[in-house]
Structure 1
Amino acid sequence: MDSVTQAALGAALGGAIAGRVLGRKALLGGALLGTLPDLDVLIDYGSAVADFTLHRGFSHSLLVLLPFSALLAWALQRWRPVMSFRHWWLFCGATLMTHPMLDAFTTYGTQLWWPLGDPVALNSVFIIDPLYTLPLLAAIALFLWRPARPRALVTGLVLSTGYLGWSLMAQQLVNERVTPTLAELGAEDAPRLVQPMPLTTLLWRVTVMDGDRRLELVTGLLDGDAPLHVETFPTRPELAAAAQRLPEGQRLAWFTRNFLDYTIIEGQLAATDVRLGVPGAHPFTFVLAKHQDGQWQPAISSRHETPTPDRRLLGTLWQRLTGEQPVLCLATLQAQPDAESCS
């Protein structure tokens, strides 16, 4: 999630746990600890793919943060023995470990069990979602006004956590809605990603990697029985095979669970993470190799600049969400009155 949300979550937790003892300082301490795991973005791992796939790694691992929070609690208890070690540990552990746990609800991928296992991505919340963040900010404002009553912080945390539960329910509803259509297309068993569109859990994007084609569709919880519009994007299996022979190509495929689109850009083999953003506005494209002497020669990966999303995209999403325009064409990022208008 974004830094403001992580700071708000840490501040709300810090105040709820230690507000009666530390007062407003609990908010500041919680906010600082709540954003601490993201400082790994300052580390240069040597290549664009390494930076991309190692972010949310060791600094987001519960196996690292749990003992680190105990060590930090021990130091704080010795410095300020106003709370017991257990109380300090609860303060440090909760504000630190809820950061990666919240990140795991997004699509990027969070290595909760680094160095073990695969990244965890529940894909049920967009990286910026005001309906999650606003209850926390409102609760913090109330606590700053009346610091002797941390109950507002607990209420804010309950509301924001309930919203996460709602996001998982909405995701399941969308998953069930699209399954019959995908079955008609013979793609019901293909790898599927169901995730919310920007800033909402009422409008969802479904991406299916089905052999030499990628299926994309947008559906909303307010659509009723409206038919689903499926768009097909071709893939390049031969380029995928070439990328899979490269160490960084393998790393990228592991991190994204093969939700990648491969292209050739100025004689270079490039891979785009199709999970993030939307078609035409995917933010992460990586150059993996150069074509020399009839072969793909590995190169230190670099990030290819992608077009900035049109500022009118939010208006387009609003038109689709409200039903003003019932179809969103992902190929052009335009809302249309019917599916035929997309072609």
Structure 2
Amino acid sequence: MDSITQMALGASIAGLVAGKTLGRSVLITGALLGTLPDLDVLIDYGSAVANFTQHRGFSHSLFVLAPLSLLLAALFWRWKPQLGFSRWLLLTALVLLTHPILDTFTTYGTQLFWPLGRPLAISSVFIIDPLYTLPLLAGCAAFLLRPAAVRVLAAGLLLSTGYLGWSFAAQQVITERVQPALASAGFADAELLVQPMPFNTVLWRATAITEQQRVEIVTGFLDGDSPLMLEYFPRQPELANSVAQLPETRRLEWFTRGFLDYQTRNGEITATDVRLGIPGAHPFTFVLANERDGALVNGNGEQAPRPAFNNAALPLLWGRITGAIPILCLANLATPAPGQEC
């Protein structure tokens, strides 16, 4: 999740555990602890692909954060012994361990058990979701105004946690909705990713991929009985195979579970993570190789410039969430003409 959300979560937990003893200042401690795992973004791993795929790595591992909680609890106990070591340990452990667990609910991927296994991604909440964050911020604000209002912090945490539960249940409902349409279109055995569209859990995006094709479905809880519309995107397996042995390609395939779109642009072979953002606005594209005189030269995984943010898409997205706009084409982030499809 975004840094504001992680800080709000850390502050809420710290206030609930130690607010009655340490007062308002404990919110700052919790907020700083809550953002500590994300400081790995300051590390340069040597290439854009490495930085992309190793973020949420060791600093988000339970195997690292659990012993770190012990160390920090001991330091905090020496700083302010009135709380007691056990309470400090409860505070540091809860704040640090809930950070990667929350990140796991997003699509990016969190290496929760680094160095073992692949990144985990439940993909039931968007990386920024106001409905999750606002109860936490409201609880913190109430506590700042009235430090005795610990119950408000608890209520904020309860509401935000309940929202995570709702997001997971909603994801299962949408998955069951799209599976028959995908099966009818020949995608019954395809890799499937179901995740919310930006900033909400009402409108969802289902992405299914095979070696030859990718299909996208946008559907929401306010669509009524509207039929599902499938939007097709061709894939280029020959292009993917041409760079398959490059270490950057293998790393991206591992990190994204194959949800990549390979393209050629001005002699460059690129791979785009199609899980993040939406078509036309995917933020992570990497140059894998360059074609020179019929030969491929390693592009070292440099990141291509991000597409400019399309402000005109925001009202369209809101209209699609509410059902006022029945169809939103992902290929161009536009609505089709009456009687036409994407």
Whichever residue aligns with residue 104 of structure 1, its letter is T
Q: 3-state SS of the aligned residue for 2:13? A: helix
CA distance in 1 between partners of 2:230 and 2:209 (Å): 13
Q: Secondary structure at the match of 2:328?
A: strand
- Aligned counterparts of 1:306 and 1:265: Cα–Cα separation in 2: 14
Is residue 182 from structure 1 mapped to residue 204 from structure 2 by the alignment? Answer: no
CA distance in 1, matches of 2:181, 2:230: 9
Q: Please give the residue correspondences for 1:241-280 in structure 2 after superposition, counting only pairs within 5 Å.
A: 241-280=241-280
User: Are the counterparts in 2 of residues 14 and 27 from structure 1 also a CA contact under 8 Å?
Assistant: yes
Which residue identity lines up with residue 341 of structure 1 in the other structure? Q
Q: What does residue 104 of structure 2 align with? A: 104
The one-letter code matched in structure 2 to 1:241 is N
| SS of match in other structure, 2:110 | coil
- Cα offsets for 1:145-200 (capped at 9, x unmatched): 11023111011000000000000011001000001101101101100000000011
* Residue of structure 1 in register with 2:45 after alignment: 45
Q: Does 1:323 align with 2:335?
A: no
Q: Which moved more, 1:107-116 or 1:79-88?
A: 79-88
Q: 1:136-151 maps to which residues of 2 (within 5 A)?
A: 136-151=136-151
Q: Which amino acid aligns with 1:67?
A: P
CA distance in 2 between counterparts of 1:309 and 1:229 reads 25
Give CA deviations for 1:203-231 in whole Å, capped at 9, x if unaligned: 00111102211001100011122100101
Aligned-partner Cα distance in 1 for 2:242–2:71: 46
**Cα distance, 1:293 vs. partner?**
4.5
Please list every run of 5 or more consecutive structure 2 residues that lacks an aligned counterpart in the other structure: none
> Is 1:34 aligned with 2:34?
yes
Structure 1 position 88 matched with structure 2 position 112: no
- The one-letter code sitting in structure 2 at the alignment partner of 1:63 is F
1:173 aligns with 2:181: no
Q: Percent identity?
A: 59
What is the one-letter code of the residue matched to 2:147? P
CA distance in 2, matches of 1:104, 1:308: 27
Distance 1:241 1:342 in 2: 32
The 1-side partners of 2:103 and 2:145 are apart by: 29
Matches within 5 A, 1:3-14: 3-14=3-14
| Whole-angstrom CA distance in 2 between matches of 1:307 and 1:134 | 29
Partner residue in 1 for 2:134: 134
Question: Match of 2:340?
Answer: 341
Aligned mates of 1:143, 1:329 — CA distance in 2: 44
Does the residue aligned with 1:244 lie in a helix, a strand or coil? coil
- Corresponding residue for residue 291 of structure 2: 291
Give 1:335 shift. Answer: 2.8
Shift of 1:336: 4.0
> For residues 79 and 304 of structure 1, what CA distance do their matches in structure 2 show?
46
CA distance in 1, matches of 2:215, 2:182: 9
Q: Does the aligned pair in 2 maintain the 1:34–1:95 contact within 8 Å?
A: yes
CA RMSD of aligned residues (A): 1.2
After superposition, where does 1:113-124 map in structure 2 within 5 Å? 113-124=113-124
Give the match's secondary structure for 1:204. strand
**Amino acid paired to 1:52:** F
Cα displacement string for residues 91-136 of structure 1 (whole angstroms, at most 9, x for unaligned residues):
1111111111111100001110111111010000001100000000
Task: Specify the code of the residue in structure 2 equivalent to 1:158.
Answer: L
Name stretches of at least 5 consecutive residues in structure 1 with no aligned partner.
Answer: none
Q: Secondary structure at the match of 1:208?
A: strand
CA deviations on 1:58-92 (whole Å, 9 max, x unpaired) are 11111100000101111211222112211111111
> Could you give the per-residue CA deviations for residues 225-260 of structure 1, whole angstroms, max 9, x where no partner exists?
210010100001011112221011000010000000
Distance 2:235 2:174 in 1: 25
Contact 1:287 1:304 in 2 (8 A): yes
Distance between the aligned counterparts of 1:27 and 1:76, measured in 2?
14
Give 2:208's aligned residue: 208
How far, CA to CA, are the matches of 1:311 and 1:149 in structure 2? 39
User: Quick check: 1:319–1:325 contact (8 Å CA) kept in 2?
Assistant: yes
Distance 1:270 1:99 in 2: 32
Q: Helix, strand or coil: the match of 1:214?
A: strand
**Separation in 2 of the partners of 1:83 and 1:99?**
23
Could you tell me the TM-score, scaled by structure 2's length? Answer: 0.98
- Report deviation, 1:329: 0.8
CA distance in 2, matches of 1:120, 1:10: 21
| Bigger shift: residues 74-83 or 136-145 | 74-83
Q: How does 1:216-231 map to 2 (within 5 A)?
A: 216-231=216-231
